[in-house]
Structure 1
């Protein structure tokens, strides 16, 4: 008996679905986080394109992302997003529950990363808490 594994299915599915994202409203109150992101898997190559596409519309073009490699099994150096390249970096000093997004024109955003296996009710609470304007709670505290 032969078993065939289709490793492209999760990537194709992630690319078709919108990013699960909660953003802090635009106010003058700066907080520790700019919102939360709930990826469907731990595959950055599949998950980053829908995230970047969602943010391009609201925040502007994302050019670089940094993560802590302890939460991601593979950290690619680059990811293709709509015909362009998104650069991905990693830092072990970075909070493992946070994703940092950078743009040449707009600046920096810090998002809480909710683990893909989180129950929907808990994820909803975390997404709401991370999007409170002026919150002083860091990603590690919320998790």
Structure 2
């Protein structure tokens, strides 16, 4: 069973009343490449990480380190305060998938989350979250994002073709009035028979 967590920070530490958008793989599931997905509201790690790690502290033990790929994060703070402790933030350019967030805990271990870009549509984000939290899933974070982009392009092409079809009359369009295809075949038949 997949877990979706909605978390609203306590009043004293609330910077936003919007819930955390996070989906995790079921507890005790077979290890997969991803442990779930996180859909932050911005690309500001200083603002986004405290809520994420506060929720995960309760589930996975105190999160002590987070690493990201700087490709999609304009500013990477070295430390982020979270509920009375500090989470250290690091980055790896070539060693870490740019669409993945790595979380480390002293007590339990490591978790990898797909990071869904903040500007992603809700429908696409929901699909990505479900795929990332699938305990049988084998795609990497970048593979999931590539698949989502390919689906987006295919859907856009389909909408474009339907639009052209509708603009040209779609199913209501009439056939050329000079000669129907059946008449053309019948008209050619006697000539073809002359040589027999």
Q: TM-score range by the shorter chain?
A: 0.7 to 0.9
Q: Is the 8 A contact 1:18 1:54 kept in 2?
A: no
Q: Is the 8 A contact 1:27 1:133 kept in 2?
A: no
Superposition deviation, residue 80 in structure 1: 0.6
Mapping for residues 13-92 of structure 1, pairs under 5 Å: 13=16, 16-92=17-93
Q: Which moved more, 1:128-137 or 1:43-52?
A: 128-137
Secondary structure in structure 2 of the residue aligned to 1:41: coil
Which runs of 5 or more residues in structure 1 are unaligned? 1-10
Secondary structure in structure 2 of the residue aligned to 1:63: strand
Which residue of structure 2 aligns with residue 122 of structure 1? Answer: 124
Q: Which has the higher contact order (CA 8 A, sep 6+)?
A: 1
Superposition deviation, residue 28 in structure 1: 4.2
Rounded Cα–Cα distance in structure 1 between residues aligned with 2:18 and 2:63: 19
Rounded Cα–Cα distance in structure 2 between residues aligned with 1:32 and 1:90: 19
Rounded Cα–Cα distance in structure 1 between residues aligned with 2:117 and 2:142: 12
Q: Which structure's residues are more often strand, by fraction?
A: 1
Q: Which structure's residues are more often helix, by fraction?
A: 2
> TM-score under structure 2 normalisation?
0.65
| Corresponding residue pairs, total | 131
Superposition deviation, residue 119 in structure 1: 0.3
Q: Is the 8 A contact 1:33 1:138 kept in 2?
A: yes
> TM-score under structure 1 normalisation?
0.88
Secondary structure in structure 2 of the residue aligned to 1:58: helix
Which residue of structure 2 aligns with residue 140 of structure 1? Answer: 142
Rounded Cα–Cα distance in structure 2 between residues aligned with 1:85 and 1:72: 20
Rounded Cα–Cα distance in structure 2 between residues aligned with 1:66 and 1:131: 20
Mapping for residues 91-102 of structure 1, pairs under 5 Å: 91-93=92-94, 94-102=96-104
Superposition deviation, residue 26 in structure 1: 1.5
Secondary structure in structure 1 of the residue aligned to 2:63: coil
Rounded Cα–Cα distance in structure 2 between residues aligned with 1:53 and 1:21: 12
Q: Is the 8 A contact 1:60 1:106 kept in 2?
A: yes
Which runs of 5 or more residues in structure 2 are unaligned? 1-13, 146-196
